[in-house]
Amino acid sequence: MIYIGAHMPIGGGFKRVPRETVEIGGNTFQIFPHNPRQWNASYPKEEDIKKFKEGLHKFNIMQQYMLCHSGYLINIASPKKDGWEKSLKLLIKEMEICSMLGIKYLNIHPGSHLGIGEEVGIKKIVEALNIALDSEKNTIILLENVTKKGGNIGYKIEHLKKIIDKVKYPERLGITIDTCHAWDAGYDIVNKLDEFLTMIDKLIGLNNLKFIHLNDSKNELGSNKDRHENIGKGKIGNDGLKVFLNHEIIKKIPWILETPGDNEVHKNDIKEVLKLVEVN
């Protein structure tokens, strides 16, 4: 069984997500827990939660196939006191929203050290995660690999490992691999896929790799750009994605599209992906 889906809109409430996931041909999804461009987030309404959960049941979407993605403003690596505190506060609120919705996994970008260095950034991240994981006990945080730009931490898998090793509750952390980010950060996930997975296994354990963000890339390997492209239209391309997706380990992990476009476009991307996969 292949688990595939997309980042879904929540504009009409969380309740629309399960049905729309199935309508685009999906069986797994990602959502934002609130408007990702705002600092203020509200808790979901009782009625919306109820209908969301009814939808999950009706469309048979299980907990391990649901993912929340943290908002864009959060930066728990920030060396600025007020920015860090605001980020931590909103992160905890996001975890609470996940918990209310029955969503176990919250995907975050580790954050940007804003120029003061990776070591200090990692320390700030660990400090924030320790407080967050103490304050909300249900959510598992997934660290997403990113690209090397703007002081980002997490363009190397080693960064993710360092964070996990230093956190008080390592068992409540996992990772997401974004194919576009990995590619743009210089990891050849096509020709050196086995090497890549072996490294993840050694550093973090493949059992802690919970989701794949499945995106083609507009740019060449190692470009450090982070511009997502629709399936088969980018530089990883259909041939590259075919190699990646048919790996036995990758096939067992849920794939979430974050390609440009709306539900209709994602419906088409899912079709394109399934054409590349050899089902046996």
Residues contributing to the site for Mn ion (CB under 5 A)? 144, 178, 213, 258
**Which amino acid belongs to residue 176?**
T
Cβ 58 to Zn ion shortest distance, Å: 32
Measured distance CA(227)–CA(169) in Å, rounded: 33
Measured distance CA(189)–CA(246) in Å, rounded: 12
In whole angstroms, how far apart are CA 193 and each of 74, 137, 246? Answer: 31, 35, 11
226-255 residues near Zn ion, rule: CB under 5 A: 226
What is the residue-wise DSSP string for 13-81?
-GGGHHHHHHHTT-SEEEE-SS-TT-S---PPPHHHHHHHHHHHHHTT--GGGEEEE--SS--TT-SSH
Nearer CB in complex with Mn ion: 48/229? 229
48 binds, among Mn ion, Zn ion, none (CB under 5 to 8 A by kind): none
Q: Is 34 a catalytic residue?
A: no
Query: What letter does residue 236 receive in the DSSP assignment?
Result: S
Query: What is the total count of residues that contact Zn ion (CB under 5 A)?
Result: 1
Cβ 118 to Zn ion shortest distance, Å: 19
Q: Is 188 a catalytic residue?
A: no
Q: From the candidates 226, 229, 266, 269, which is the catalytic residue?
A: 226
Stretch in the footprint of Zn ion (CB under 5 A) among 34-42, 126-134, 137-145, 224-232: 224-232
Stretch in the footprint of Zn ion (CB under 5 A) among 71-79, 125-133, 156-164, 219-227: 219-227
Q: Is 37 a catalytic residue?
A: yes
Q: From the candidates 69, 113, 159, 266, which is the catalytic residue?
A: 69
Site string for Zn ion, 32-71 (x = CB under 5 A): ----------------------------------------
Instruction: Report yes or no: 2 and 252 within 8 Å, Cβ to Cβ.
Output: no
Name 147's Cβ contacts closer than 8 Å, sequence gap at least 6: 155, 181, 184, 185, 224, 225, 226
Q: From the candidates 94, 144, 184, 216, which is the catalytic residue?
A: 144
Instruction: Report yes or no: 271 and 2 within 8 Å, Cβ to Cβ.
Output: no
Q: Phi/psi of residue 167, each to 5°? A: -75, 150
Q: Is 109 a catalytic residue?
A: yes
Q: From the candidates 228, 229, 266, 269, which is the catalytic residue?
A: 228
Nearer CB in complex with Mn ion: 49/112? 112
Nearer CB in complex with Mn ion: 55/208? 208
226 binds, among Mn ion, Zn ion, none (CB under 5 to 8 A by kind): Zn ion
Closest CA to 146 of 113, 198, 109, 107: 109
Q: Is 3 a catalytic residue?
A: no
Helix (H), strand (E) at residue 232: none
Q: Is 69 a catalytic residue?
A: yes
Q: From the candidates 34, 113, 181, 266, which is the catalytic residue?
A: 181
Q: From the candidates 16, 34, 109, 266, which is the catalytic residue?
A: 109
What is the residue-wise DSSP string for 126-152?
HHHHHHHHHH--SPEEEEEP--S-TTE
Name 272's Cβ contacts closer than 8 Å, sequence gap at least 6: 230, 231, 232, 238
Nearer CB in complex with Zn ion: 34/213? 213
Residues interacting with Zn ion, by CB under 5 A? 226
> Annotated active-site positions, please?
37, 69, 72, 109, 144, 178, 181, 213, 226, 228, 258
